[in-house]
Structure 1
Amino acid sequence: MSSAGAKTGPGVKAPAPLKLPLAGARGTGFLGARLGNLAVPKKAEAVCRASHDRGLSATVQSALTTEAPSNTVSATRDGKGTKVMIIGGDGYCGWATALHLSARGYSVCILDNLCRREFDMQLGLETLTPIASVHDRVKRWGEVSAQNIHLEIGDLCDWDFFSDAFRNFAPDAVVHFGEQRSAPYSMIDRQRAVFTQHNNVIGTINVLFAIKEFKPDCHLVKLGTMGEYGTPNIDIEEGYLTVTHNGRTDTLPYPKQAGSFYHLSKVHDSHNILFAARAWKIAATDLNQGIVYGVRTEETMADPLLINRYDYDGIFGTALNRFVVQAAVGHPITVYGKGGQTRGFLDIRDTVRCIQIAIDNPAAKGEMRVFNQFTEQFSVRDIADLVKRLGAPMGLNAEIIQIPNPRVEAEEHYYNAKHAKLEELGLQPHLLGDSMIDSLLEFAIRYKDRVRMELIKPAVDWRKTPVTSGTAKAAVKAD
């Protein structure tokens, strides 16, 4: 998922013992060799195959044929060879997006240094799902779809590597997922706060310079976060706010109130992209995404080796993912504080469609437009109650408990965020109805023997981010 930097510049060091590919590595390197033989356990593979057809679903099969039906978007090869580089394409959103676009005729290149996998090794975490190596994933996708995904293994923060890869592929659009994306990870200790900001901000600057220097017409589709806005006591607009002050009116970037060093890195990205759009006439779309849920897309469920990751731990797991796993294994559903924290949510199937919509409808040169990328709003307590209610008919007697909030945030607040632009461009949302929760619960029950109970609890306290390393106790919090 992430494209964290092995080279970090003068005076800045990546968190030890993070080991990343050597500069300029292509398709190999430390992590590539170390993870290349990762296999899906036979038991899990059998379970996966029982849940779906061995080959591609009918929808995806039709999407991979030249004479495809035109009545559904997923069944048309409308990419027409458009070249899309997906930075962070081995991650949760990136992998699903890469397959979605490849199935629809886009020419896809994944660029990733695989450090998201290294974070798991470093912190003792493990995805609920048994994911294969990126090399095996890409190979298997080629076998089941007859579509080739180009793979570049290396570091976005290494300009020599990235600029070479960018020029060789010459993308028409860059989809930038390649950042350290966890707020708790950024708050583990000083080292990871510095790492997160350096990796995310410098990586984005490298993308902007590559577009300016080598492909000025390339459209940047950058994944932001709704967390940039915070929880203001007014409606949240899509990126910009028109204000009148002392009799004068202007439209300005919406004020930001980020809640972690991770969210602050996204704010810095937004400012840098806006400047580059203005100064260099770069076309950019900033997608402020809500909380994504779900594992299944048509493509990731086409074969066991293509399955996506499912994070449920206290570092990378979202509230919904955690609650579902907690209910499945008989652990109390742990609501942070009062549970009134309200956020935007969207299905992973909508994430990949939003990316496609942004690519197919690019921003104008010199424009940085902002879309709020979510479909529904729920409070943390709403989500907990929904999981509890829908788990009962499945024999899950989930208890909801409140625990001290490790974050510094308003636990009850006004929240009304606008999110009309993507739907105006054609997004047809999948809503978090009963069937979606049911499928998540069924998925968690299926893999519950892989759940490690000690990873469920929160382990990072925003108020105590230390100067010294917090790696040893970051993932697992003692009672």
Structure 2
Amino acid sequence: MILGGDGYLGWTLGLAMAHRTDRQVVLVDNFVKRRWEKEAGAKVLVPLESPQRRIAEYERIFGKHNLSFEKVELLDPEAVEHIIAKYRPAVVINAAQQPSAPFSMSSAKNAAATFSNNVAAHLNVLWAIAHLSNATKYIKVGSGGCYMATDTDYVPLGKNDFTFELDGQQHKVLQSFLPMQATDFYHQSKITDFLIDDLCSKMWGLKVITVQQATIFGATIPENHWTEREGLAARFNYDAVFGTVINRFICQMVIGHPLTVYGDGTQKTGLISLTDTAVNFLKFADLDVTPGEHMVVHNYTHRLSISEIAERLANISPSTKINYLTNPREEPTGKLDPQVEVHEAIKAVDSNKDARLREEMANMLEFASRYKDDIDPSIILPEVKWLAAEKKA
């Protein structure tokens, strides 16, 4: 069962899981992201069909009938209990998140909606699993951005002992996760998600995996890349609210618009392609997790600065220009450059990663070029600022 099955990640995972395995895959969504996109003035690169129409196309192309859809409001605990009781899934992947830091910082209403969607709905799912299907493996999509304001040289996977000095004396913290700090309300909600996962796994003996997800880039996976499979396309946002950095840059490139780097471009982000993300989640679904265990995995392949990303793209097309904008975000400027521990299950994806990055960028450019006439440059530049609005007189 994949929650958020209408989304960029959720649909992609469902398509890959259904096509590449013999599992029965149920997609679950309430379509709230479509409403948020309209409110934010966002647009998608490729017309987004309903899940039902995409599933019918999947069945036509691949001749399989193991993918289905249920409309469910995760904020309704009774509805969540009903869907869990109906299927009692072996695995639940929760990708039903409000995924945008700018959206969460745009208004009090949207900040609250972010916490409601990401935290309250998450709790409803955990309660339902605990009471109805505690053999279910629960995989929660977290965020590598939970560590963005923590100035450290290493991000471990599990709990560790830490020492610190205060007033000339050494002190210890035993068996704790690395402290997490956010710079926006979206990532703060993900920190809360993470801590809830840890609490519920121990309290109720659940099998929980938190995937601290890096920024995803890419438009397609092999199942939906070709023109004749446009009906299987995933949501692809390129706007300043819901579009991730490489996806925005690619769309700017194909219309001849300068790449817009926020600030000096030295801020770094973890990255992983949509293709690699799908491969890794299939592995996560097969991991052995014991009752009461909270397993953490960091899903990323690269860690690059925004300027490095822009420069790599500019190397593909030398006519591309790079513009530096005043940074609308509050982003940390730490002294340390952290190494991130990668789980054993996905270390193989880390090999040959630079060649795959170039290949994925080329695939994205080819794909976005098909729809260049539909790209609206007016929605790419940022309008949401992290500073609170000035007080009204």
- What is the TM-score when the length of structure 1 is the normalising length? 0.76
Q: 2:155 aligns with which of 236, 242, 245?
A: 236
Aligned to 1:213: 131
Counterpart amino acid of 2:115? Q
Equivalent position of 1:43 in the other structure: none
Identity %: 28
Q: 1:329 touches 1:448 (CA, 8 Å); kept in 2?
A: yes
Contact 1:187 1:465 in 2 (8 A): no
Residues in 1 aligned to 2:176 and 2:334: alpha-carbon distance in whole angstroms? 27
Instruction: List per-residue Cα deviations over 1:115-139 (Å, max 9, x = no partner).
Output: 1122222222211122211110112
Q: 1:111 to 1:465 in 2, by over 3 A?
A: farther
One of 28, 50, 53 as aligned partner of 1:136:
53
| Cα offset, 1:433, TM superposition | 3.2
Alpha-carbon distance in structure 1 between the residues aligned to 2:177 and 2:151: 17
Q: 1:412 to 1:269 in 2, by over 3 A?
A: closer
SS in structure 1 opposite 2:310? helix
Select which of 174, 184, 196 maps to 1:250: 174
Query: Aligned equivalents of 1:466 and 1:349: distance in 2?
Result: 43
1:385 to 303, 311, 316: 311
Task: List structure 1 segments (4+ residues) > 6 angstroms apart after TM superposition.
Answer: none
Distance in 1 of aligned mates of 2:188 and 2:74: 19
**Residue in structure 2 matching 1:176, options 75, 94, 106:** 94
Aligned length: 380
Preserved contact between residue 283 and residue 346 of structure 2 (Cα < 8 Å): no
**Corresponding residue number in structure 1 for 2:382:** 458
Q: CA deviation at 1:335?
A: 0.6
Residues 1:359 and 1:186: Cα distance change in structure 2 (over 3 Å): same
- Measured after TM superposition, the shift of residue 276 of structure 1 is 0.6
CA–CA distance in structure 1, aligned partners of residues 45 and 156 of structure 2: 36
How far 1:284 sits from its partner (Å)? 0.5
Letter in 2 for 1:199: N
Aligned pairs for 1:309-320 within 5 A: 309-320=235-246
Letter in 1 for 2:340: K
Residue 327 (structure 2) pairs with residue 405 (structure 1): yes
Q: Which residue of 1 aligns with 2:343?
A: 421
Q: For residue 191 of structure 1, what is the amino acid of its counterpart?
A: K
> Deviation at 1:217?
0.9
Distance in 1 (alpha carbons) for counterparts of 2:341 and 2:364: 25
Q: Which runs of 5+ in 1 are unaligned?
A: 1-84, 469-479
One-letter identity of the residue aligned with 1:132: E
Letter in 1 for 2:291: K
Summarize the Cα distance change of 1:413–1:382 in structure 2 as closer, same or farther, 3 Å threshold. Answer: farther
3-state DSSP of counterpart to 2:224: coil
In structure 2, what is the Cα distance between the partners aligned to 1:338 and 1:105?
48
Assess if the C-alpha contact under 8 Å between 1:340 and 1:379 holds in 2: yes
Residue 362 of structure 2: aligned partner: 438
SS of match in other structure, 1:316:
coil
Asked whether the 8 Å contact 1:228–1:264 carries over to 2, the reply is: yes
Pairwise CA distance, 1:465: 5.2
- Shift of residue 86 of structure 1? 0.2
- Give unmatched runs, 5+ long, in structure 2: 165-169
3-state SS in 2 of match to 1:96: helix
Q: Which moved more, 1:262-271 or 1:246-255?
A: 246-255
**More displaced 10-residue stretch of structure 1: 138-147 or 372-381:** 138-147
| Preserved contact between residue 283 and residue 367 of structure 1 (Cα < 8 Å) | yes
Shift of 1:428: 5.7
Q: Secondary structure at the match of 2:222?
A: coil
- For residues 344 and 138 of structure 1, the distance between their equivalents in structure 2, rounded to whole angstroms, comes to 32
1:347, CA displacement in angstroms?
A: 1.1
Could you tell me how far apart the structure 2 residues matched to 1:299 and 1:167 are?
A: 31
Query: 1:446 Cα shift?
Result: 1.9
Q: In the superposition, relative to structure 1, how do residues 441 and 217 fare at CA in structure 2: closer, same or farther (>3 Å)? A: same
Aligned to 2:218: 294
Q: 1:352 to 1:226 in 2, by over 3 A?
A: same
8 A Cα contact 2:266 2:306, kept in partner? yes
Stretch moving more, 170-179 or 300-309: 300-309
Q: Comparing 276-285 with 147-156, which one deviates more in the overlay?
A: 147-156
- What amino acid is aligned across from residue 404 of structure 1 in structure 2? T
Note closer, same or farther for the CA distance 1:180–1:467 as it changes in structure 2 (3 Å cut): farther
Aligned residue type for 1:144:
I
Alpha carbons 2:75, 2:117 under 8 Å: kept = yes
Q: Distance in 1 between matches of 2:180 and 2:278?
A: 26
Alignment of 1:112 onto 2:38: no
Measure how far apart 1:425 and its partner are: 6.6
**1:265 partner letter:** S
Q: CA deviation at 1:155?
A: 0.8
Q: Report the counterpart of residue 88 of structure 1 in structure 2.
A: 4
**Counterpart of 1:462 in 2: which secondary structure?**
coil
Cα distance between partner residues in 1 of 2:346 and 2:57: 36
Tell me the alpha carbon deviations over residues 101-121 of structure 1, each in whole angstroms, 9 at most, x when there is no partner.
Answer: 111111111110011122222
SS, match of residue 381 in structure 1: helix
Quote the residue 2:185 is aligned against: 261
Distance in 2, Cα, partners of 1:335 & 1:413: 21
Alpha-carbon displacement from aligned partner over 1:408-447 (angstroms, at most 9, x marks no partner): 0125753323242154575466545322222222222221
Q: Relative to 1, partners in 2 of residues 1:439 and 1:164: Cα closer, same or farther, differing over 3 Å?
A: same
Aligned partner of 1:224 in structure 2 is 142
Q: Which moved more, 1:199-208 or 1:234-243?
A: 234-243
**Does the Cα contact within 8 Å between 2:105 and 2:185 map onto a contact in 1?**
yes
For 1:305, the equivalent position in structure 2 comes to 231
Show the counterpart of 1:156.
74
Q: Is the 8 A contact 1:222 1:287 kept in 2?
A: yes
Aligned counterpart, 1:339:
265
